[in-house]
Chain A
């Protein structure tokens, strides 16, 4: 089964003790481990101002994770877990792999075009080895 990449962001209350946050993060990790998902990125953006009031708070602590999994049910499970946490005031999961796929495709297309028809003579030698390498890698 094809693996998919998801972004998971959640916002915690500004004055949440660290133990609570750790508990939430552990819970996410645990759920991911159960389904054999990989957490590829784990970032803490710190306390940021919210663009609008959420649960009567104007600030929140942002946590960001990137998860790769082949099981879509996991996302529902993660959202359920975040939903029941009192310290989490907002969360969002977004499927990212389709966007990344499109980005890759467009990038390749652009490179190909640059290799085929160099616009400027100065750019040609730089583009040619890259194209050659790509062909080499493909074969």
Chain B
């Protein structure tokens, strides 16, 4: 047992009796730094084997932790066009500093993410959204109120 532990820690093999659970899709940047031992007897079928561990084993057991399934907001609302002028909507999909949030964080589908990227870039161009890296104001952009002139 001790030997096995050692093996796991050195990362020589990830095909131990326990499948190391991948952290789903949402893990931070440090999520997969190495084959670490989790606290409890987790038996999630790892979608990816440990790094360097070859192909992941077959799915075993039931998934114990259910993550709420994220759905694409634009698909739910049946939006076929993402308007670059709606800075209030677009700002939900960027970080405070203006970076576009990845799909895995927001749950947006691939098609809408593509359109969203274009819309955000257009909005940046006309100063409705900040460019990433620029010192942005802390206040969220307000919805555009149109007055007829």
The number of residue pairs between A and B whose CB atoms lie closer than 8 Å in the complex comes to 67
Cβ contact within 8 Å between A48 and B147: no
Q: Are B125 and A92 in contact (CB under 8 A)?
A: yes
The answer to whether A99 touches B81, judged by C-beta atoms less than 8 angstroms apart, is yes
B10 to chain A, nearest CB (A): 49
What is the 8 Å Cβ interface bit string for chain A, positions 34-72, against chain B (1 contact, 0 not)?
000000001111101111101000101011100000000
Which B residues, 6 to 34, have Cβ-Cβ distances below 8 Å to chain A? none
CB of B144 within 8 Å of the partner chain: yes
Interface size counted on chain B using CB atoms at 8 A: 28
- A16 sits at the interface (CB 8 A): no
Secondary structure type dominating chain A contacts: strand
> Which A residues touch B56, using CB under 8 A?
none
A102 and B126 contact, Cβ closer than 8 Å, known pairs A43-B149, A44-B149: no
Interface: A124 (CB within 8 A): no
B80 touches A103 (CB 8 A): yes
Q: Which residues of B are found within 8 Å of A46, using beta-carbon distances?
A: 145, 147
- Which residues of B91-149 have CB atoms within 8 Å of chain A's CB atoms? 98, 122, 124-131, 134-137, 139, 141-142, 144-149
B62 is an interface residue with CB less than 8 A from chain A: no
A44 to chain B: closest residue by CB: B149
Query: Is B142 touching A48 in the complex (CB atoms < 8 A)?
Result: yes
Q: Report whether B84 and A49 are in contact in the complex, using a CB–CB cutoff of 8 Å.
A: no
Q: Which residues of A contact B127 (CB under 8 A)?
A: 11, 50-52, 54, 60, 90
Q: What are the residues of chain A within 8 A of B69 when measuring CB–CB?
A: none
Please judge, given known A-B contacts A11-B126, A49-B139, A90-B127, whether A43 and B146 are in contact too, CB under 8 Å: yes
A46 to B146 Cα, complex, angstroms: 8
Residues of B with Cβ closer than 8 Å to A? 78, 80-81, 84-85, 98, 122, 124-131, 134-137, 139, 141-142, 144-149
What 5 pairs across the A-B complex have the smallest Cβ distances? A44-B149, A103-B80, A103-B81, A51-B130, A50-B127
- Give chain A's interface residues, CB within 8 Å of chain B: 9, 11, 42-46, 48-52, 54, 58, 60, 62-64, 90, 92, 94, 99-100, 102-103, 106-107, 110
